[in-house]
Amino acid sequence: MRNGYLRRRWRFPRTLAGCALASLVGTVGLLGSPSTASGAPATPPLNPRPQELSVTGTPLDLPAAVTIVRGTAADQPAVDAVVAAFTSRDTRVTLTSTDPGAGTTVYVGGAQETPASAAALNAIGVATPSGLPDQGYLLATGTDSGGRQRVVLSGGQKVGTFYAAQTLRQLLTSDSSGAAIARVTIRDWPAFSFRGGMDSANPPPPGVARWTKADRLEQVEVLARNKMNRFFYGPAADPRTGGSGSDNWRTSYSATELGDLREVVSKANSLHVAFVYRISPEMPLDQASGICHSSATERGTLLSRLNQMYQIGVRHFVIAWDDVFPTRPFSCVNDSQTYGTGVTAWARAQADVTNFVQAQFINAHAGMGQLYTVSSEYAGTAVSSYRTEFDTRLSTAVGVYWTGPEVLSPRITKKNLDDAQVAFPRHRLAIWDNFPVNDQVWDRLQMGPLVGREAALSAAPGILFNEMTQQGPSQLPLLTAADFAWNPGQYQPEDSWSRAIDVLGGSKASQLRTFAEINRSSVIDRTDSVALADAISSFRNALRTGTGVDSAAAALKQRLSALRTASTDLQATQTSLTTQAQPWLQQTVRLVDAATRAVDLLTAERAGQTTVANTLRQEIRHLLPTIASHPESVAHGVLHPLVTFALRLGVDRVDLSGDGRADVLAVTGNGTLNAYENLRTTLNWPELGATQTVGQGWSTSQLPVIGDLDGDRRADLLSVTSTGALVQFRNTGSFTGGMFATGVQVGSGWQGTLAAYLADLDDDGRADLLGVFPGGTLRAFRNTGMSNGAVTWGPAVQVGQGWSTAELPFFGDLTGDGKADLMSVKSDGSLWHFLNTGSFSEGTFAAGQRVGAGWSGHLAMHVVDLDGDGPADVLGVLADGTLAAFRNQGVTNGLVGFGPRTSVGQGWHANMLPYPTDLSGDGRADLISINGEGRLFTNINSGRFVSGLMFPTTAAHGPGWGGTIFLR
C-alpha cells in the first residue's frame, strides 16, 4: 500500500547459501530435531511444517548411487530438484523412465506422471494417495519385502510432486557413504490455495535499497523452495505500476525493461510460481493525473499495457484502486457526468473499469488466472456506502484483496475476516498482509516472525505478504509466513523463526540470531532486543542500588561484545541478506562501541572516577556525528537510550523513570498532574502506560518547570508559587501517585518573574536555574547539589538583560559540549544566539550574534537535537503553521551555521502545537501534541532533514486529552 497511515485510526484517503541461492535446487544445511514422543528417530525439521508426518522406522542408509524413475509426464522442475538434492549429498543418480526392478529407486510423480510410483507405494506398504487436497502430495520412504529401498514422491498434480521434492531436499542428510533419509510417510497439502511474497512497497527515499532484477529472481526461488506459489509485482518505485511522472501506467516498458521482467516471469513460471502484475490506473502518488474511467482511449491504453505483460507470460493481474482519495473530484469532467460525485461515484467508476478488464482482457484469453482488485477501502471491517456500491457493481468473477482490520494489522482474526465479508458479500476476500513491509519505517529492518494471525484465516482463498524494500532480509520473516500459509494449524512462531534462522544462517546461524533479535520488532510484534534490554535494565538497577554494579556491567558488556562480533562476522559473508543488511550491521558496530563506552562511563562515574568518566563522555560525543549520519536504526528504543542516558542528554526533558527515554507529563484543566510511563518505543508508536495521578493544584499561572535537579537522570519538578516561593518536587523513581516527594521550598523572591527555566549550564549533569525577572533581567543560579533532600543554589548571577514577554530566551546545547546555550527571536523576526562560554559569571553567554531571519509571528520555537549528532538544531512553528527545521552545521569563529529551512510539517496553529521530546531515546527530538478533538498524537523522528521524512508517521494514543493546559 502506498500511504502514510494513522496508527489504529485509518482514514481512507489515498546454509547461508539458502539465502543467496545459486539455484532452486541448492542444498540447505539440516539441523538436529528432538525425538518423537514414541521414541522413533526424529526427522530433520521441515519448512513448511507438513500436515501429516509419520516416522515409520530408522533412517534409510542410502548407497552411493540411486536410480530416479520419472515418467514421460513427470514434472521437470521436480525431477531437477530431486536430482540436485541427491548430487549435493555426493550421491550418483541414473535417470530412467521405467522401474529398473532392483536397487535403491526414487520415483518422481504421481500415477498420472510416473505410473511406476503406484506399485512402489504398494511394495512398501503405503496406500496410494486418494482424496488429496489441491496441490497436495504423498512422500513415502521405506523398504519392500525384499529389502529394496524405495523413495516415492507422488503428487496429486505436478505442483504437488514439485512440493514433495522440496520436502525430500530437507529430509536428506549426509553420512560417510553419501546420504541417508528419514523413514517416513508424509501426506501434505497447503491450507491456503495461494500463498506468496510481494514486491509492492512505497518508493523508498534516496539511499535506501530497492529491489533489483537479481532480487526478484532470487525471490522466486525462495518462494518455490518454501512452497509458495505467487510473486506479486507492484512496486511504487516502478512508475508503470501506478506511480507518478511521465513514465506512468500509460507508458509501455522499453525493450530492456521488458526483457528484465520477462526473465523473472519465465523463472517464476518454470517453478510453479505465478507472477502477479499489479497496475494502479488512478495513480495514488499523483491522483490528479489518474485515469479517466469513462474514456475509451484510456481503457484502450490500459488493455495495451496488460497485453504487453501477457506477451511475456504473465497470466495473473491486479487492478488496484488503493491509496486514493475517493472524496476528491475525478481527474476528468466526463467521469463526473458519467458516474456522479462522491464516494459511491468512485466505487462505480472503479468497478466499471475492473469489469471492463475482466470482460475484454481476462475472458478474451485462455489460461488466465483470476483477476483481483484492491478497493479504496481495503482495510477495516465496517460496511460503508462505498463498499456496498463497489461490491454490488463489481463482477463476481473478480477477487478482492483486504489487509485486515487495519492497514498494518497487528492481529487478524477469523471474526475480522467474517465481518469484512459482510461488507463484500458477493466476493471472497483474499488477504494482503502488510508484513514485514517497512515502507513507513525505512530506517529499520523487521526480521521477526509472523504472529497474530489465526489459523482459521485459511477460509480465505489466499494470503500474500508485502515485504521490506530489502529483499534479502525479508527472507527471514517470509519463511515463517510461508510456514503459516501452508499449515497454520500447527504454526509455532518461535519454532518457525528458529528454523528459518538456521536455514538462512547455516554456519552463521548463531550470529544471525543475535542480529535478528535486535531487529525483530514490527507493527505486529513489538518484542525487540529482550535479552539486551534486560541486561541494560539490570545494569541500571545495579547503579541505583549500588549492588552488583561490576557484575552487571560485565554481563552487559559481554552481551554487547557478542553483538559486535556477530555483526562483524555477518559483514564478512556474501549473501543478499547480509549484503542488504550491511548498513544496519555497520550501525550496530558503531552503536555498540558507543554503548560499551557508556557502560564504562557510568561505572567510572559510580566509582567517583570523574576524570575517566569525562574522558569517556568526550569519546562518545565524538562518535555521535558518525552514528547520526547513518539513519539506520537497530535495537530501537533499547540500545541508543543507554548512550543517551550516559551522556545525560535531556537533563531538562521528561525522563521520569531514568531509562533514557522521555515519558509524558500533563496538567489537566482541573489542575491534576498526570504521568504516563513510556513502556517501550520499538516502533514508531510509543506504548504509554496507564494514567498515574502524581500531583494536584497546578494551574496556568503555576505550571511545572522540568529538569534533573539531583543528577540521577530522572526528571524533577520546580514551581513558582503566587507568593514568589520556589518549590522543589523531587522524583522518587516510583511511577505511582508518590512519584514526586512533598514539595520543599528552595528559594524565594520569584514573584513577578516572566519565566523560569532549568538547563545544565556547566555540564555537570544537574540542571541549573535561570529566570527572567521583572525589568527584563536574566539571572542564573548554579545547582550546587543536594542538602537534606533539597537542591541548593549558588548566588544569583546576572547573565543578560532587556528581555520581555515579547522576547524570551530559548535554551539548548548548540555546540554539543553539554552546556546550554541561548537563542532568541527579536521583534524584527531575526534569530540570534548567545553561546555559553563555560564561565558561570556575567559572561556566561557570549555577545549575541544574528543567525537567521523570517521568524516574525512565529508560534513556537525549540532548540533541540533533531538528528542525534549532539549539537542542537532549531525547530519552530512559523506564522503560517509550517513546522520548519534548520540543521545545525557547526560553529565557525563563534558563529553557528544553520542549513536552509526544511518544511517537516504543516497545519499547526496556536491551539495545536507540537512539543519536542525524545520518546525513543535516540537523541533525536520526537513530537507530542493534542489535536482539536482532544486526541494525543506522537511523531517519531527518523533523523532525516527531508520534507515528509523527518516525521513520517503519526500515532494516535486515544481521546480524553481535551482541556490539557500543560503537555511535555
- Quote the cell numbers at residue 639: 540500545
Q: What is the mean pLDDT of residues 863-889?
A: 96
Residue 108 has a CB neighbour count (10 Å cut-off) of 31
Mutual angle of helices 213-225 and 471-486, in 10-degree steps: 20
> Pseudo-torsion of CA 69, 71, 74, 76, nearest 10°?
60
Is the distance from CB of 644 to CB of 921 less than 8 angstroms?
A: yes
Name the burial class of residue 98, with classes exposed (0-12), middle (13-18) and buried (19+) by CB atoms within 10 angstroms of its CB: exposed
Greater model confidence, 175 or 902: 902
pLDDT at 5: 33
Alpha carbon distance 883, 277 (integer Å): 39
> Is residue 926 predicted with pLDDT exceeding 50?
yes
pLDDT at 591: 98
Helix (H) or strand (E) holding 916: strand 915-917
pLDDT at 515: 98
pLDDT at 532: 96
Q: What is the pLDDT of residues 880-894, one digit of tens each?
A: 999 999 999 999 999
Cα-based angle 566, 567, 571 (whole degrees, multiple of 5): 115
- The CATH 3.30.379.10 domain(s) of the chain lie at 52-188
pLDDT at 102: 97
Band (177; pLDDT cuts 50, 70, 90) = confident
Is the distance from CB of 717 to CB of 732 less than 8 angstroms?
A: no
pLDDT at 25: 37
pLDDT at 205: 80
Secondary structure (3-state) at 302 = helix
Band (38; pLDDT cuts 50, 70, 90) = very low
Alpha carbon distance 647, 661 (integer Å): 13
> Pseudo-torsion of CA 252, 212, 951, 949, nearest 10°?
-60
Q: What is the mean pLDDT of residues 758-765?
A: 94
pLDDT at 650: 59
- The CATH 2.130.10 domain(s) of the chain lie at 653-966
> Is residue 116 predicted with pLDDT exceeding 90?
yes
Contacts of 699 (CB under 8 A, 6+ apart): 671, 965
- Quote the cell numbers at residue 736: 505511582
Indicate which residue of 323, 439, 708, 865 is catalytic: 323
Alpha carbon distance 309, 218 (integer Å): 20
Q: Is the omega angle on the peptide bond into residue 48 within 30 degrees of 0, that is, cis?
A: yes
CATH number for the segment(s) 52-188:
3.30.379.10
pLDDT at 44: 86
The architecture (CATH level 2) of 530-646 comes to Up-down Bundle (1.20)
- The CATH 1.20.58.460 domain(s) of the chain lie at 530-646
pLDDT at 327: 86
Percentage of residues in the chain with pLDDT exceeding 90?
A: 86
Q: Name the average pLDDT for the chain.
A: 92
What is the number of helices (H) and of strands (E) in the chain? 19, 47
pLDDT at 949: 85
pLDDT at 831: 97
The radius of gyration of the chain's CA atoms, rounded to the nearest angstrom, is 32
Is the distance from CB of 766 to CB of 708 less than 8 angstroms?
A: yes
Cα–Cα separations (whole angstroms), residue 926 to 556, 646, 650, 685, 861: 28, 19, 12, 11, 14
> Is residue 86 predicted with pLDDT exceeding 50?
yes
Q: What is the pLDDT of residues 697-746, one digit of tens each?
A: 999 999 999 999 999 999 999 999 999 999 999 999 888 768 999 999 99
pLDDT at 287: 86
The CATH H-level superfamily of 194-491 is Glycosidases (3.20.20.80)
Band (384; pLDDT cuts 50, 70, 90) = very high
Contacts of 630 (CB under 8 A, 6+ apart): 583, 586, 587, 590
Count CA atoms within 13 Å of residue 189 on its CB side.
Answer: 17
Band (1; pLDDT cuts 50, 70, 90) = low
**Chain CA centroid to CA 763, Å:** 36
Greater model confidence, 913 or 681: 913
Band (528; pLDDT cuts 50, 70, 90) = confident
> Is residue 418 predicted with pLDDT exceeding 70?
yes
Q: What is the pLDDT of residues 450-466, one digit of tens each?
A: 999 999 999 999 999 99
pLDDT at 445: 96
Is the distance from CB of 452 to CB of 431 less than 8 angstroms?
A: no
Q: How is the chain split among helix, strand and coil, in percent rounded to 5?
A: 30, 25, 45
Q: What is the mean pLDDT of residues 540-564?
A: 96
Q: By C-alpha distance, which of 5, 51, 14, 55 is closest to 33?
A: 55
pLDDT at 652: 61
Strand partners, 666: 674, 967
Alpha carbon distance 680, 493 (integer Å): 22
Q: What is the mean pLDDT of residues 302-311?
A: 98
- Quote the cell numbers at residue 918: 525524545
Q: What is the mean pLDDT of residues 811-822?
A: 96
DSSP 679-742: EE-SSSSPEE---EEEE---BTTB--EEE-SSSSSS-EEEEE-TTS-EEEE-B-S-SSTTSBPP
- Quote the cell numbers at residue 732: 522518587
> Is residue 562 predicted with pLDDT exceeding 50?
yes
Alpha carbon distance 628, 872 (integer Å): 13
Q: What is the pLDDT of residues 234-262, one digit of tens each?
A: 998 899 998 788 889 999 999 999 999 99
CATH number for the segment(s) 653-966:
2.130.10
The phi and psi torsions of 348 (rounded to 5 degrees) equal: -65, -45
> Is residue 231 predicted with pLDDT exceeding 70?
yes
Q: Is the omega angle on the peptide bond into residue 206 within 30 degrees of 0, that is, cis?
A: no
Residue 165 has a CB neighbour count (10 Å cut-off) of 28
**Grid coordinates 546576572 are at which residue?**
798
Q: What is the pLDDT of residues 645-698, one digit of tens each?
A: 999 875 567 999 999 999 999 999 999 999 999 998 877 778 899 999 999 999
pLDDT at 26: 35
Diameter over CA atoms, the chain: 108
Alpha carbon distance 708, 763 (integer Å): 12
Band (6; pLDDT cuts 50, 70, 90) = very low
Alpha carbon distance 960, 668 (integer Å): 10
pTM for this structure? Answer: 0.91
Does the annotation count 215 as an active-site position?
no
Q: By C-alpha distance, which of 634, 640, 637, 630 is closest to 518?
A: 634
